[in-house]
Protein backbone atom coordinates (compact mmCIF):
# COMPACT_ATOMS: atom_id res chain seq x y z
CA UNK A 1 0.00 0.00 0.00
CA UNK A 2 2.76 2.45 0.96
CA UNK A 3 4.66 1.70 -2.26
CA UNK A 4 1.61 2.47 -4.32
CA UNK A 5 1.09 5.83 -2.63
CA UNK A 6 4.63 7.20 -2.49
CA UNK A 7 5.87 8.59 -5.80
CA UNK A 8 9.63 8.59 -6.40
CA UNK A 9 11.67 10.60 -8.97
CA UNK A 10 10.97 9.62 -12.55
CA UNK A 11 7.51 8.29 -11.76
CA UNK A 12 8.87 5.17 -10.07
CA UNK A 13 7.27 3.78 -6.95
CA UNK A 14 9.10 2.49 -3.90
CA UNK A 15 8.39 -1.04 -5.10
CA UNK A 16 9.97 -0.26 -8.49
CA UNK A 17 13.05 1.16 -6.80
CA UNK A 18 13.40 -1.95 -4.60
CA UNK A 19 13.53 -4.24 -7.63
CA UNK A 20 16.21 -1.99 -9.09
CA UNK A 21 18.60 -2.87 -6.25
CA UNK A 22 21.08 -5.64 -7.02
CA UNK A 23 23.72 -7.26 -4.89
CA UNK A 24 26.77 -6.69 -7.07
CA UNK A 25 29.34 -5.84 -4.43
CA UNK A 26 30.99 -7.98 -1.81
CA UNK A 27 33.89 -7.24 0.47
CA UNK A 28 37.03 -9.12 -0.55
CA UNK A 29 39.60 -7.49 1.73
CA UNK A 30 39.97 -5.25 4.77
CA UNK A 31 42.99 -3.01 5.28
CA UNK A 32 43.16 -1.45 8.74
CA UNK A 33 39.37 -1.29 8.77
CA UNK A 34 38.92 0.04 5.22
CA UNK A 35 37.39 -2.26 2.62
CA UNK A 36 38.08 -3.35 -0.95
CA UNK A 37 35.12 -4.73 -2.91
CA UNK A 38 34.72 -7.18 -5.74
CA UNK A 39 33.19 -4.42 -7.83
CA UNK A 40 36.33 -2.30 -7.48
CA UNK A 41 38.47 -5.18 -8.70
CA UNK A 42 36.09 -5.83 -11.60
CA UNK A 43 36.22 -2.16 -12.60
CA UNK A 44 40.01 -2.26 -12.53
CA UNK A 45 40.02 -5.34 -14.77
CA UNK A 46 37.64 -3.65 -17.22
CA UNK A 47 39.94 -0.61 -17.45
CA UNK A 48 42.95 -2.87 -18.02
CA UNK A 49 41.09 -4.69 -20.78
CA UNK A 50 40.06 -1.45 -22.48
CA UNK A 51 43.63 -0.13 -22.30
CA UNK A 52 45.06 -3.35 -23.77
CA UNK A 53 42.49 -3.29 -26.57
CA UNK A 54 43.51 0.30 -27.41
CA UNK A 55 47.04 -1.00 -27.92
CA UNK A 56 45.74 -3.36 -30.61
CA UNK A 57 45.76 -6.59 -28.63
CA UNK A 58 43.07 -9.12 -29.54
CA UNK A 59 42.13 -12.73 -28.89
CA UNK A 60 44.55 -14.83 -26.88
CA UNK A 61 47.12 -12.02 -26.67
CA UNK A 62 44.51 -9.71 -25.14
CA UNK A 63 43.37 -12.36 -22.66
CA UNK A 64 46.96 -13.10 -21.64
CA UNK A 65 47.79 -9.42 -21.09
CA UNK A 66 44.63 -8.80 -19.07
CA UNK A 67 45.19 -11.90 -16.93
CA UNK A 68 48.81 -10.96 -16.27
CA UNK A 69 48.07 -7.39 -15.21
CA UNK A 70 44.81 -8.20 -13.42
CA UNK A 71 46.60 -10.69 -11.19
CA UNK A 72 48.05 -7.68 -9.37
CA UNK A 73 44.75 -5.78 -9.09
CA UNK A 74 44.16 -6.63 -5.43
CA UNK A 75 47.78 -5.92 -4.62
CA UNK A 76 47.53 -2.48 -6.20
CA UNK A 77 44.31 -1.65 -4.31
CA UNK A 78 45.94 -2.66 -1.03
CA UNK A 79 49.06 -0.65 -1.93
CA UNK A 80 46.94 2.46 -2.48
CA UNK A 81 45.10 2.16 0.82
CA UNK A 82 48.30 1.54 2.77
CA UNK A 83 50.02 4.58 1.25
CA UNK A 84 47.06 6.87 1.92
CA UNK A 85 46.88 5.63 5.50
CA UNK A 86 50.63 6.19 5.88
CA UNK A 87 50.24 9.74 4.59
CA UNK A 88 47.61 10.46 7.23
CA UNK A 89 49.84 8.97 9.93
CA UNK A 90 52.63 11.30 8.76
CA UNK A 91 50.25 14.30 9.01
CA UNK A 92 50.90 15.22 5.38
CA UNK A 93 48.64 18.11 4.38
CA UNK A 94 47.73 18.45 0.70
CA UNK A 95 44.65 20.62 1.17
CA UNK A 96 46.25 23.59 -0.61
CA UNK A 97 46.90 21.52 -3.74
CA UNK A 98 43.38 20.10 -3.64
CA UNK A 99 41.80 23.55 -3.35
CA UNK A 100 43.95 24.86 -6.18
CA UNK A 101 42.87 21.96 -8.40
CA UNK A 102 39.20 22.56 -7.61
CA UNK A 103 39.58 26.28 -8.41
CA UNK A 104 41.28 25.39 -11.67
CA UNK A 105 38.50 22.94 -12.53
CA UNK A 106 35.89 25.60 -11.85
CA UNK A 107 37.54 27.80 -14.47
CA UNK A 108 37.46 24.89 -16.89
CA UNK A 109 33.74 24.42 -16.30
CA UNK A 110 32.92 28.06 -16.93
CA UNK A 111 30.62 27.94 -13.90
CA UNK A 112 31.36 31.01 -11.78
CA UNK A 113 28.60 30.34 -9.24
CA UNK A 114 29.46 27.71 -6.63
CA UNK A 115 26.10 25.91 -6.70
CA UNK A 116 26.12 25.66 -10.48
CA UNK A 117 29.71 24.43 -10.45
CA UNK A 118 28.88 21.69 -7.94
CA UNK A 119 25.91 20.65 -10.10
CA UNK A 120 28.22 20.57 -13.15
CA UNK A 121 30.66 18.29 -11.32
CA UNK A 122 27.91 15.87 -10.38
CA UNK A 123 26.51 15.89 -13.90
CA UNK A 124 29.92 15.22 -15.46
CA UNK A 125 31.26 12.70 -12.95
CA UNK A 126 28.37 11.28 -10.98
CA UNK A 127 30.30 12.35 -7.88
CA UNK A 128 29.73 15.06 -5.32
CA UNK A 129 32.40 17.73 -5.08
CA UNK A 130 33.46 16.34 -1.69
CA UNK A 131 33.91 12.81 -3.06
CA UNK A 132 35.91 14.17 -5.97
CA UNK A 133 38.15 16.15 -3.63
CA UNK A 134 38.74 13.04 -1.52
CA UNK A 135 39.84 11.00 -4.54
CA UNK A 136 42.29 13.68 -5.59
CA UNK A 137 43.53 14.14 -2.04
CA UNK A 138 44.28 10.43 -1.79
CA UNK A 139 46.21 10.48 -5.07
CA UNK A 140 48.38 13.33 -3.77
CA UNK A 141 48.92 11.65 -0.41
CA UNK A 142 50.16 8.55 -2.22
CA UNK A 143 52.67 10.53 -4.24
CA UNK A 144 53.91 12.49 -1.25
CA UNK A 145 54.47 9.37 0.84
CA UNK A 146 56.45 7.74 -1.96
CA UNK A 147 58.48 10.92 -2.33
CA UNK A 148 59.31 11.25 1.34
CA UNK A 149 59.69 7.59 2.24
CA UNK A 150 61.28 6.24 -0.95
CA UNK A 151 62.71 8.90 -3.29
CA UNK A 152 64.41 10.72 -0.45
CA UNK A 153 66.40 7.57 0.34
CA UNK A 154 67.64 7.10 -3.23
CA UNK A 155 70.90 8.97 -3.82
CA UNK A 156 72.19 9.83 -7.29
CA UNK A 157 75.79 11.19 -7.46
CA UNK A 158 76.01 14.71 -8.87
CA UNK A 159 78.57 13.57 -11.44
CA UNK A 160 76.12 11.02 -12.80
CA UNK A 161 73.44 13.71 -13.10
CA UNK A 162 75.81 16.11 -14.89
CA UNK A 163 76.78 13.38 -17.33
CA UNK A 164 73.10 12.72 -18.06
CA UNK A 165 72.50 16.45 -18.57
CA UNK A 166 75.31 16.74 -21.13
CA UNK A 167 74.07 13.69 -23.02
CA UNK A 168 70.44 14.85 -23.08
CA UNK A 169 70.70 18.64 -23.40
CA UNK A 170 68.11 18.77 -26.16
CA UNK A 171 65.52 17.53 -23.67
CA UNK A 172 66.08 20.53 -21.42
CA UNK A 173 65.26 23.42 -23.74
CA UNK A 174 62.62 25.48 -21.95
CA UNK A 175 59.68 27.51 -23.16
CA UNK A 176 59.13 30.97 -21.76
CA UNK A 177 56.75 30.79 -18.80
CA UNK A 178 55.18 33.14 -16.31
CA UNK A 179 53.76 32.33 -12.88
CA UNK A 180 51.03 34.64 -11.60
CA UNK A 181 48.80 35.32 -8.63
CA UNK A 182 45.41 36.97 -8.96
CA UNK A 183 42.94 39.10 -7.06
CA UNK A 184 39.42 39.27 -8.45
CA UNK A 185 37.14 42.07 -7.28
CA UNK A 186 33.60 41.06 -8.20
CA UNK A 187 31.22 43.47 -9.90
CA UNK A 188 28.22 41.62 -8.46
CA UNK A 189 25.10 42.24 -10.53
CA UNK A 190 27.15 44.44 -12.90
CA UNK A 191 25.06 47.52 -12.22
CA UNK A 192 26.88 50.82 -12.89
CA UNK A 193 27.12 51.48 -9.15
CA UNK A 194 28.59 48.03 -8.43
CA UNK A 195 31.08 48.35 -11.29
CA UNK A 196 32.22 51.77 -10.08
CA UNK A 197 32.60 50.53 -6.50
CA UNK A 198 34.53 47.46 -7.63
CA UNK A 199 36.88 49.52 -9.78
CA UNK A 200 37.58 51.91 -6.89
CA UNK A 201 38.31 48.99 -4.57
CA UNK A 202 40.56 47.31 -7.16
CA UNK A 203 42.60 50.48 -7.66
CA UNK A 204 43.08 50.79 -3.90
CA UNK A 205 44.32 47.18 -3.75
CA UNK A 206 46.76 47.80 -6.62
CA UNK A 207 48.10 50.85 -4.83
CA UNK A 208 48.66 48.85 -1.65
CA UNK A 209 50.32 46.00 -3.53
CA UNK A 210 52.70 48.40 -5.27
CA UNK A 211 53.63 49.82 -1.87
CA UNK A 212 54.97 46.36 -0.98
CA UNK A 213 52.04 44.96 0.97
CA UNK A 214 52.10 41.20 0.51
CA UNK A 215 50.02 40.34 -2.54
CA UNK A 216 49.25 36.90 -1.11
CA UNK A 217 47.70 38.43 2.00
CA UNK A 218 45.72 40.95 -0.04
CA UNK A 219 44.42 38.09 -2.19
CA UNK A 220 43.39 36.08 0.83
CA UNK A 221 41.60 39.09 2.32
CA UNK A 222 39.98 40.74 -0.70
CA UNK A 223 39.83 38.36 -3.68
CA UNK A 224 36.45 36.98 -4.73
CA UNK A 225 38.09 34.19 -6.74
CA UNK A 226 38.37 30.59 -5.53
CA UNK A 227 42.16 31.04 -5.51
CA UNK A 228 41.84 33.35 -2.51
CA UNK A 229 42.15 30.17 -0.41
CA UNK A 230 45.58 29.64 -1.98
CA UNK A 231 46.81 33.21 -1.56
CA UNK A 232 45.71 34.01 -5.10
CA UNK A 233 48.04 31.52 -6.82
CA UNK A 234 46.74 31.09 -10.37
CA UNK A 235 49.51 28.95 -11.86
CA UNK A 236 52.34 28.81 -14.39
CA UNK A 237 51.63 29.38 -18.07
CA UNK A 238 53.39 29.28 -21.42
CA UNK A 239 52.59 31.63 -24.28
CA UNK A 240 49.27 30.83 -25.86
CA UNK A 241 47.62 29.63 -22.66
CA UNK A 242 46.54 33.04 -21.44
CA UNK A 243 44.10 35.46 -22.99
CA UNK A 244 45.94 37.65 -25.52
CA UNK A 245 45.38 40.87 -23.57
CA UNK A 246 46.58 39.31 -20.33
CA UNK A 247 49.54 37.66 -22.07
CA UNK A 248 50.73 40.96 -23.53
CA UNK A 249 50.39 42.54 -20.11
CA UNK A 250 52.31 40.04 -17.97
CA UNK A 251 54.85 38.25 -20.19
CA UNK A 252 57.17 41.23 -20.78
CA UNK A 253 57.22 42.12 -17.09
CA UNK A 254 59.72 41.26 -14.38
CA UNK A 255 59.06 39.30 -11.23
CA UNK A 256 57.03 41.39 -8.77
CA UNK A 257 55.11 43.41 -11.38
CA UNK A 258 51.48 44.20 -10.43
CA UNK A 259 49.00 45.00 -13.21
CA UNK A 260 46.41 47.74 -13.26
CA UNK A 261 42.84 46.46 -12.72
CA UNK A 262 41.58 44.67 -15.83
CA UNK A 263 37.82 44.52 -16.41
CA UNK A 264 36.77 40.92 -16.98
CA UNK A 265 33.45 39.12 -17.20
CA UNK A 266 32.63 39.07 -13.52
CA UNK A 267 34.86 41.72 -12.02
CA UNK A 268 38.21 43.48 -12.06
CA UNK A 269 41.25 41.22 -12.26
CA UNK A 270 44.62 42.18 -10.72
CA UNK A 271 47.64 40.01 -11.50
CA UNK A 272 51.13 39.82 -10.01
CA UNK A 273 54.09 38.21 -11.77
CA UNK A 274 55.49 35.74 -9.22
CA UNK A 275 58.16 34.14 -11.38
CA UNK A 276 59.23 33.66 -14.95
CA UNK A 277 61.53 31.45 -16.99
CA UNK A 278 63.37 32.56 -20.09
CA UNK A 279 63.10 30.58 -23.30
CA UNK A 280 66.21 28.60 -24.19
CA UNK A 281 68.62 26.02 -22.80
CA UNK A 282 67.98 25.37 -19.11
CA UNK A 283 71.04 25.40 -16.88
CA UNK A 284 71.97 22.18 -15.09
CA UNK A 285 71.00 23.69 -11.73
CA UNK A 286 67.49 24.42 -13.02
CA UNK A 287 66.84 20.81 -14.02
CA UNK A 288 68.93 18.95 -11.46
CA UNK A 289 65.89 17.76 -9.52
CA UNK A 290 64.20 16.55 -12.69
CA UNK A 291 67.31 14.60 -13.69
CA UNK A 292 67.57 13.15 -10.20
CA UNK A 293 64.03 11.81 -10.49
CA UNK A 294 64.68 10.29 -13.91
CA UNK A 295 67.77 8.46 -12.72
CA UNK A 296 66.17 7.42 -9.45
CA UNK A 297 63.15 5.80 -11.08
CA UNK A 298 64.71 2.33 -11.72
CA UNK A 299 66.00 2.25 -8.14
CA UNK A 300 62.70 3.33 -6.63
CA UNK A 301 60.51 0.35 -7.51
CA UNK A 302 62.40 -2.21 -5.37
CA UNK A 303 62.49 0.21 -2.43
CA UNK A 304 58.81 0.99 -2.87
CA UNK A 305 57.97 -2.70 -2.64
CA UNK A 306 60.10 -2.91 0.50
CA UNK A 307 58.06 -0.08 2.03
CA UNK A 308 54.76 -1.69 1.07
CA UNK A 309 55.86 -5.07 2.44
CA UNK A 310 56.78 -3.36 5.70
CA UNK A 311 53.40 -1.61 5.87
CA UNK A 312 51.65 -4.92 5.24
CA UNK A 313 53.56 -6.63 8.02
CA UNK A 314 52.15 -4.23 10.63
CA UNK A 315 48.70 -3.74 9.08
CA UNK A 316 45.46 -5.37 10.14
CA UNK A 317 44.87 -7.15 6.82
CA UNK A 318 42.22 -9.76 6.02
CA UNK A 319 41.55 -11.27 2.60
CA UNK A 320 38.58 -13.39 1.57
CA UNK A 321 39.37 -16.98 0.48
CA UNK A 322 39.76 -17.19 -3.28
CA UNK A 323 41.53 -13.83 -3.61
CA UNK A 324 45.31 -13.40 -3.63
CA UNK A 325 47.50 -10.44 -2.68
CA UNK A 326 50.52 -10.84 -4.97
CA UNK A 327 52.43 -8.38 -2.76
CA UNK A 328 51.80 -10.28 0.47
CA UNK A 329 54.32 -9.94 3.29
CA UNK A 330 56.09 -13.26 3.96
CA UNK A 331 54.61 -15.04 6.96
CA UNK A 332 51.74 -12.56 7.34
CA UNK A 333 48.45 -14.23 8.28
CA UNK A 334 45.69 -12.56 6.27
CA UNK A 335 43.00 -15.16 6.90
CA UNK A 336 39.55 -13.69 7.35
CA UNK A 337 38.83 -14.40 11.00
CA UNK A 338 35.06 -13.92 10.95
CA UNK A 339 33.35 -15.18 7.75
CA UNK A 340 30.08 -13.62 8.95
CA UNK A 341 31.61 -10.19 8.29
CA UNK A 342 31.81 -10.96 4.58
CA UNK A 343 28.27 -9.70 4.16
CA UNK A 344 27.68 -8.39 0.59
CA UNK A 345 26.99 -4.74 0.05
CA UNK A 346 24.12 -3.59 -2.12
CA UNK A 347 24.12 -0.91 -4.75
CA UNK A 348 21.77 0.38 -7.43
CA UNK A 349 21.94 0.63 -11.18
CA UNK A 350 22.16 4.39 -10.74
CA UNK A 351 25.29 4.04 -8.60
CA UNK A 352 26.89 1.82 -11.22
CA UNK A 353 26.04 4.35 -13.93
CA UNK A 354 27.62 7.09 -11.84
CA UNK A 355 30.87 5.13 -11.64
CA UNK A 356 30.97 4.88 -15.44
CA UNK A 357 30.29 8.61 -15.79
CA UNK A 358 33.04 9.40 -13.30
CA UNK A 359 35.63 7.52 -15.39
CA UNK A 360 34.55 9.48 -18.50
CA UNK A 361 34.77 12.71 -16.50
CA UNK A 362 38.39 12.04 -15.56
CA UNK A 363 39.29 11.98 -19.24
CA UNK A 364 38.07 15.59 -19.43
CA UNK A 365 39.44 16.82 -16.10
CA UNK A 366 42.35 14.56 -15.06
CA UNK A 367 43.05 14.53 -11.35
CA UNK A 368 46.64 13.38 -11.24
CA UNK A 369 48.51 10.12 -11.10
CA UNK A 370 49.17 7.89 -8.18
CA UNK A 371 52.43 6.64 -9.62
CA UNK A 372 55.88 7.30 -8.25
CA UNK A 373 57.36 9.78 -10.71
CA UNK A 374 58.21 13.31 -9.62
CA UNK A 375 57.62 12.63 -5.96
CA UNK A 376 60.86 13.68 -4.35
CA UNK A 377 60.69 16.45 -1.77
CA UNK A 378 62.33 18.80 -4.24
CA UNK A 379 59.72 17.89 -6.82
CA UNK A 380 56.74 17.77 -4.50
CA UNK A 381 53.50 17.14 -6.35
CA UNK A 382 51.79 20.19 -7.67
CA UNK A 383 48.66 20.60 -9.71
CA UNK A 384 49.49 21.85 -13.17
CA UNK A 385 46.72 23.97 -14.65
CA UNK A 386 44.86 22.02 -17.34
CA UNK A 387 44.09 23.59 -20.69
CA UNK A 388 40.87 25.38 -20.10
CA UNK A 389 38.33 27.91 -21.09
CA UNK A 390 39.02 30.89 -18.86
CA UNK A 391 37.02 32.51 -16.13
CA UNK A 392 37.28 35.67 -18.08
CA UNK A 393 38.90 36.59 -21.39
CA UNK A 394 39.89 40.18 -22.06
CA UNK A 395 36.33 40.64 -21.13
CA UNK A 396 36.28 37.51 -19.04
CA UNK A 397 39.53 35.67 -17.97
CA UNK A 398 43.28 35.65 -17.72
CA UNK A 399 43.19 32.36 -19.58
CA UNK A 400 42.83 32.05 -23.32
CA UNK A 401 39.52 30.95 -24.73
CA-to-CA separations, 57 to 43, 45, 46, 89, in angstroms, rounded: 19, 15, 14, 42
| Domain match, 258 and 310 both | no
- Using CA atoms, how far apart are residues 136 and 145, in angstroms rounded to an integer? 14
In a domain, 393, yes or no: no
| Domain match, 186 and 118 both | no
pLDDT at position 381, please? Answer: 31
pLDDT at position 347, please? Answer: 45
pLDDT at position 229, please? Answer: 86
To the nearest 10 degrees (0 to 180), the angle between helices 95-109 and 129-149 is 130
User: For the chain, what is the mean pLDDT?
Assistant: 80
Q: What is the mean pLDDT of residues 321-345?
A: 79
- Using CA atoms, how far apart are residues 77 and 44, in angstroms rounded to an integer? 9
Query: Please, which pLDDT band fits residue 220 given cuts at 50, 70 and 90?
Result: very high
| Domain match, 123 and 201 both | no
Residue 364 pLDDT more than 50?
no
- Using CA atoms, how far apart are residues 366 and 51, in angstroms rounded to an integer? 16
Residue 217 sits in a domain whose CATH number is 3.10.50.40
Query: Please, which pLDDT band fits residue 24 given cuts at 50, 70 and 90?
Result: low
| Domain match, 233 and 312 both | no
| Domain match, 28 and 125 both | yes
Q: Which range in 92-106, 121-135, 306-320 is most confidently predicted, on average pLDDT?
A: 306-320
| Domain match, 35 and 107 both | yes
More confident residue, 1 or 228: 228
| Tens-digit pLDDT profile for residues 60-115 | 888 888 888 888 999 999 999 999 999 999 999 999 899 888 887 887 777 878 89
Residue 303 sits in a domain whose CATH number is 1.10.4030
pLDDT at position 384, please? Answer: 30
| Domain match, 30 and 144 both | yes
The model carries a pTM of 0.57
In a domain, 291, yes or no: no
In a domain, 230, yes or no: yes
Query: Please, which pLDDT band fits residue 53 given cuts at 50, 70 and 90?
Result: confident
pLDDT at position 387, please? Answer: 29
Residue 52 pLDDT more than 80?
yes
Q: What is the mean pLDDT of residues 301-319?
A: 94
| Tens-digit pLDDT profile for residues 251-265 | 999 999 999 999 988
Query: Please, which pLDDT band fits residue 297 given cuts at 50, 70 and 90?
Result: confident
> How do strand 34-37 and strand 27-31 relate by DSSP bridges?
antiparallel
pLDDT at position 343, please? Answer: 52
- Residues 33-39: contacts with CB under 8 Å, at least 24 apart: 33/316, 34/81, 34/85, 36/74, 36/77, 36/78, 36/81, 37/345, 39/347
In a domain, 392, yes or no: no
pLDDT at position 346, please? Answer: 47
More confident residue, 13 or 27: 27
In a domain, 33, yes or no: yes
Residue 179 pLDDT more than 70?
yes
In a domain, 191, yes or no: yes
124: CB partners within 8 A, 6+ apart:
357, 360, 361, 364, 365
More confident residue, 390 or 74: 74
| Domain match, 134 and 28 both | yes
| Domain match, 232 and 119 both | no
More confident residue, 362 or 6: 362
Note down the domain range covering 139: 21-151+298-379
Least confident of 106-115, 312-321, 326-335, 355-364: 355-364
In a domain, 328, yes or no: yes
Last residue of a domain, one of 229, 249, 278: 278
Query: Please, which pLDDT band fits residue 150 given cuts at 50, 70 and 90?
Result: very high
| Tens-digit pLDDT profile for residues 262-286 | 998 888 999 999 998 888 998 999 8
| Domain match, 269 and 302 both | no
Count up the domains in the chain and report the number: 2
| Domain match, 147 and 203 both | no
pLDDT at position 103, please? Answer: 84
Q: What is the mean pLDDT of residues 118-129?
A: 89
Give the single-character DSSP code of 280. Answer: E
Least confident of 51-65, 266-280, 308-322: 51-65
| Domain match, 60 and 142 both | yes
In a domain, 374, yes or no: yes
To the nearest 10 degrees (0 to 180), the angle between helices 284-314 and 73-89 is 100
pLDDT at position 354, please? Answer: 54
pLDDT at position 351, please? Answer: 53
Least confident of 250-254, 331-335, 392-396: 392-396
Is 273 within 8 Å of 247 (Cβ atoms)? Answer: no
Amino acid sequence: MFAALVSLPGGATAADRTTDVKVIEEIVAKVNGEIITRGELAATKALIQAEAAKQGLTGAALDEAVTRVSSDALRDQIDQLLLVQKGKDMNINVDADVNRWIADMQRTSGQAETDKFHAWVREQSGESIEDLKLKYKNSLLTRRVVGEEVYRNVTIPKGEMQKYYEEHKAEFVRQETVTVREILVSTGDKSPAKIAAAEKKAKEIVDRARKNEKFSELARQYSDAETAKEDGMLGTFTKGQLNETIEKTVFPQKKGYVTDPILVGNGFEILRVEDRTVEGQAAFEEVQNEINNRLAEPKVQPKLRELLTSLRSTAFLQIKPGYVDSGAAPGKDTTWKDPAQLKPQTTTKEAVANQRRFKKFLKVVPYGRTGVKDTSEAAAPTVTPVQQTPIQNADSSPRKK
